[in-house]
Amino acid sequence: METTYPMNSTNHVVALPMKEGYRLVNQENILYCKAEGNYTLVFFANGNTMLISRKLKQTTASLEDIWFLRIHQSYLVNMRHAQLYLRKSGGQLVMTDGKKLPISKSFKEQVLQLFKIV
């Protein structure tokens, strides 16, 4: 079981499991997470990635920050790093790294509410 530790009133650290042990990271530095079978690929603001030994559902539960939002079966995003909502292709979210992530129908309303479009 994981514990998050407050660094200050707005930042939190989370322990991400890796082969060698755990890495402590500031949740604010995470752009988004992508499901990779029984693993999760974590994308960071500095351009680095990290494959962690945890399913995306478990990763979602460990990231307790209110800014993390599931937008697709395969994606969990940090809405602090979302720049743009695109209507095309059923909905896409453009992240600060330029990556366009798909939004599934079941999560679209939540995303639109955050952008105050609905």
Token representation of residue 88: 């095309």
Tell me the domain boundaries of the chain. Answer: 5-114
Q: pTM of this prediction?
A: 0.85
What kind of architecture, by CATH, is found in domain 5-114? Beta Barrel (2.40)
Q: What per-residue confidence (pLDDT) applies to 115?
A: 79
Token representation of residue 82: 């979302």
Q: What per-residue confidence (pLDDT) applies to 2?
A: 43
DSSP assignment of 26-56, as one string? Answer: EGGGEEEEEEETTEEEEEETTS-EEEESS-H
The CA angle 21-22-26, to the nearest 5 degrees, is 165
- pLDDT-flagged residues of the chain (< 50): 1-10, 118
